[in-house]
Homo-oligomer: A and B are copies of this chain.
Amino acid sequence: METKFTVALVQMAMSADSEENLGRALEKIRQAARAGAQVICLPELFRWPYFCQREDAALFDLAEPVPGETTRAISPLAAKLGVAVVVPVFERRSAGVYHNSAATIDADGQIAGLYRKMHIPDDPLYYEKFYFAPGDLGFQACTTRFGRIGTLICWDQWYPEAARLTALRGASILFYPTAIGYHPREKDTCGPAQRQAWETVQRGHAIANGVYVAAVNRVGHERPAGGEGLIFWGGSFLCDPLGTVIAQASPDKEETLLGTVDTKWLEEVRRGWPFLRDRRIDAYEGLQSRWLGEEKDSPQRAQRTRRKRKKVDR
C-alpha cells in the first residue's frame, strides 16, 4: 500500500429532485477522479434537501436499504474509475427502523464498510431523533484500496469519544459527512462563534488523535418545511494530524476540495507527540457514565481523600 492517498471532499447544494442530486453527485465523483482523487466523500443525506426540518412520517418513504438504489448507482462508477466513495444514505432496515448511515464503497465497487450515525441530535429544525434510530454498529474504520479510513456523521463531530474510538481502530482519516447551518436570524449574531467552534472542535480531534480530519458540508438556503429554513454554512475542510487546515471551501459555493493523506507524516506527528502512549486507560471508566457530579465527592470520596491526605502527613 502506498503511504499517501488523495482524498476529495465534495461540498454540494441539494435540490428537491433526488434524481438530480444523485446525477450531480455521480458527475462530481467523475470530476474528482479525473483530478486524481482516490477516496471521495459526499455530504450527509446528499440525496435530499435536509428534510429533518419538520417531523413528517410520510418522509420515511425517502429511506432505502443498503445496498439499495444509491449504492447500486455509485458502486459501478467507483469500480470503473477505481476510486473509493463514502456514500451517505437515509437507510431503511425495516418498517420503523431507519438510520442516518454512510456506506463506504471500495474501488472494486464492493461495500467495504457501513456506519450508522451513533450520536443523534434533536434541535429546532434538526429533528433527527424523530427519523433516525441511534446506530448499533459502533465506531469503525475500514480498509479501502488506498488506506484505512473512518466515517462518522455530523453531530458525531462534537464528540471526542467518537473520534478517539475511530482513530483507535486504525483510521488515518476521519470523514464527517455533514449538514450544518445557521438559523437565519442567528447568522450574524451567534453564527461566527458557532462556525468557529465547529471547526475548532474537529481540528482538536485531529490533534488529540494524530489523524487527518475531513468535514464535508452542504451549502445553500433550504426551506423544505417553509419558514425561515436553514442556511448551510459550507466551509468544508481538511486538516492534518497537527490540526493545520490544508484546504477549506467557501461558505456558499459548490466546491470539491482535494488533499493528500500522508501516513508517514501521520506517524511522524505521533512520534513527536506520543499521546496514545500515555492514555490512562485504567482511569477512564467514568466515561461510560452520563454524569459523575458532585455527589460522588461525598461522603465516601471525601473521606477517602482525607484518609489519603492524612497518610501524606505521617
Contact = CB atoms under 8 A, between A and B. Distances in A.
Interface in A33-89: 65-67
A308 interface: yes
A284 B294 contact: no
B294 A148 contact: yes
B278 A155 contact: yes
**Among A193, A243, A287, residue most surrounded by chain B Cβ atoms (within 10 Å):** A287
A200 B196 contact: no
A113 B301 CA distance: 11
Interface string A96-117: 0000000000000001011000
A293 interface: yes
Nearest to A309: B114
B292 A169 contact: yes
Interface in A110-133: 111, 113-114, 118-121, 123
Interface in A194-235: 194, 196-197, 200-201, 203-205, 207-208
B164 A160 contact: yes
A257 interface: no
Nearest to A68: B312
A264 interface: no
A119 B208 CA distance: 13
Interface stretch (A7-15, A16-24, A136-144): A136-144
Nearest to A304: B137
A219 B285 CA distance: 36
Contacts of A169: 292-294, 296-297
Given A168-B292, A169-B292, A293-B168, A283 B158 contact: no
Interface string A142-171: 110000100000010011111111001110
A55 B203 CA distance: 34
A309 B66 contact: yes
A49 to B, nearest CB: 23
Interface in A282-313: 282-294, 296-297, 305, 308-309, 311-313
A244 B142 CA distance: 35
A281 interface: yes
Nearest to A278: B119
A242 interface: yes
A67 B118 CA distance: 46
Contact of A290 (B138, B163, B170, B281): B281
The 8 closest A-B pairs by CB, nearest first: A204-B204, A160-B160, A168-B292, A201-B207, A201-B204, A197-B207, A169-B292, A197-B243
